[in-house]
Amino acid sequence: MKNTYKIVAIIAVVVVAILLYFSFRHTENESHNHDSHEGHDHGETEVATGESTTSNIKEVALNEAQFKSAEIELGTFSKKNLNEVISANGYTKLPPQNQADVSVHTTGIIKRILIEEGQFVKKGQTIVTIESPEFAKLQESYLTSKSNLEFLKLEFERQKRLNEEEVNSKKTFQKTKSDYEIEKARFSSLQKQLNVFNINPNGIATTIVGVVAPISGYVTEINIKIGSNVEVGKPLLTIVDNSKLHVDLLVYEKDLYKVEKGQKVRFILTNQDNTEVTGTVFSVGKAFENDTKAVAVHADIHNKDQKLISGMYVNALIDIGAQSVYALPVDAVVKADGREFIFVLETIELETGEKEKEFHFQRIEVKTGASQLGYVQINLLQKIEKEAKIALKGAYYIQSHLIKNEGGGGHSH
């Protein structure tokens, strides 16, 4: 019996000793972890180094087919002003001198249409032909007037000499002079009318004339067809020249004093995959628009290679400050496990025994800041090379491939 009590006592002592040992180790670990977290918090805005960040680094490899199918676009950081800006909405606009309604000054019938909607035409190019007897009559009147003018000129000069010699009466001279001046004015008027219709005054009489383009540009609307009656002043078609397209932005009264000529403008085309276009303010309106408290701010467009037409709706930012930050497209950032990451291209290698390339990406943790017009401010938590290529598009595909390789682990948004 005594031996039994001894054994129980020994077991109890051993258990207590083990419990005390593990309790002491747990206290030490908590103290160590607390110190480690304090050090990390202190350097949060700096580039993270050491075990706390390298444990977050993950790599993924894509073959060439996967890279192409994901439509991955590589690039680097852009300098963007995402803080000191004024947000504004507006639309693209064309000055009136770059738009033309083509019409004629006489009645007639459409004989031929030499252009199509959407076609580019040059100034002076024949675009439509019109048939009208008025053209032949006009040319006939011109030739008659020309002949009369030649006769009256000779008669005027003869009467002038006689008047100077006091042979004829002044009344006869004044009558001849008046007839000559009237015919000269009539001849000049007929000559200008023929020029308007692009008719050769001394050519063969014709009933068909061509209408030419008053400006270079694109035909946007055709209001006629073969055989249509032409009405005086009614537009036959419309031509626009988009080379002088600009943007009108509506800025409200509270921000108006901040806007100045020469400030940079960035705007996106909401219906063209959020394509960003840049410009410069060249004029600020002096009156409110359409009974609103907004004033039109006019801005030139820089990258005019975009397919822009008048009336496109835009969202814009007017840069009123000089502070820029490093930014990436929002599609370049993925979220996983409550954190944010980008993917940096590490290497491009040839697969063993194959000609196909293999793209190796490294996942880098970042913190994002201000976000505007499809771009977001990026603060790196790990160092990367200055010229590193970043996945600007397709980051979510790379992230899903990474999760798949890990057997479905992790949580992505």
CATH number of the domain where residue 122 is located = 2.40.50.100
CB atoms within 10 A of CB 159: 21
Domain end marker among 267, 286, 319: 319
Query: In angstroms, rounded to a whole number, what is the distance separating the alpha carbons of residues 174 and 396?
Result: 94
Q: Are residues 334 and 350 in the same domain?
A: yes
What pLDDT, on the 0 to 100 scale, is given for residue 407? Answer: 66
- Interatomic CA distance for residues 100 and 114, integer angstroms: 17
Same-domain check for residues 185 and 282: no
Number of domains in the chain: 3
Q: How far is CA 410 from CA 2, 49, 338, 405, in A?
A: 59, 23, 10, 11
Strand partners, 250: 89, 296
**Distances from the Cα of 153 to the Cαs of 144, 147, 188, 321, in angstroms?**
14, 10, 14, 73
For the chain, 413 residues long, give each residue's pLDDT as a single digit of tens.
545 555 656 666 565 566 555 554 544 444 444 343 333 333 333 333 333 344 456 888 888 888 888 889 999 998 887 767 888 888 888 988 899 999 888 888 999 999 999 999 999 999 999 998 888 888 888 889 888 989 888 988 888 888 877 777 788 888 888 988 999 999 899 888 888 888 887 778 788 888 899 999 999 999 999 999 988 888 999 999 988 889 999 998 888 888 888 888 988 776 666 677 889 999 888 888 777 788 999 999 887 666 788 888 888 888 887 677 889 999 999 998 889 999 999 877 765 556 678 888 999 999 988 777 788 888 888 888 888 899 999 999 999 888 887 765 444 44
> 373: phi > 0 → left, psi -120 to 50 → alpha, else beta; which?
left
One-letter amino acid at 230 equals V
In a domain, 210, yes or no: yes
The reported pLDDT for the residue numbered 43 is 35
Shared domain check, 69 and 115: no
Q: Same domain, yes or no, for 271 and 285?
A: yes
Please state, in angstroms and rounded to a whole number, the distance separating the CA atoms of residues 52 and 381.
11
Q: What is the pTM of this model?
A: 0.54
Same domain, 161 and 182: yes
How many C-beta atoms surround the C-beta of residue 49 within 10 A?
12
- The answer on 273 and 153 residing in a single domain is no
Domain that holds residue 134: 101-240
Q: What CA–CA distance (Å, rounded) separates 392 from 335?
A: 15
- Residue ending a domain, among 240, 275, 308, is 240
Cα–Cα distance between 299 and 258 in angstroms, integer?
15
Can you tell me the distance from the alpha carbon of 284 to that of 279, in angstroms, rounded to the nearest whole number? Answer: 14
105 and 233 belong to one structural domain: yes
Domain assignment of residue 198, yes or no: yes
Domain boundary among 240, 266, 299: 240
The pair of three-digit structure tokens given for residue 151, joined into one six-digit string: 């006769």
Q: Looking at the domain assignment, is residue 179 inside a domain?
A: yes
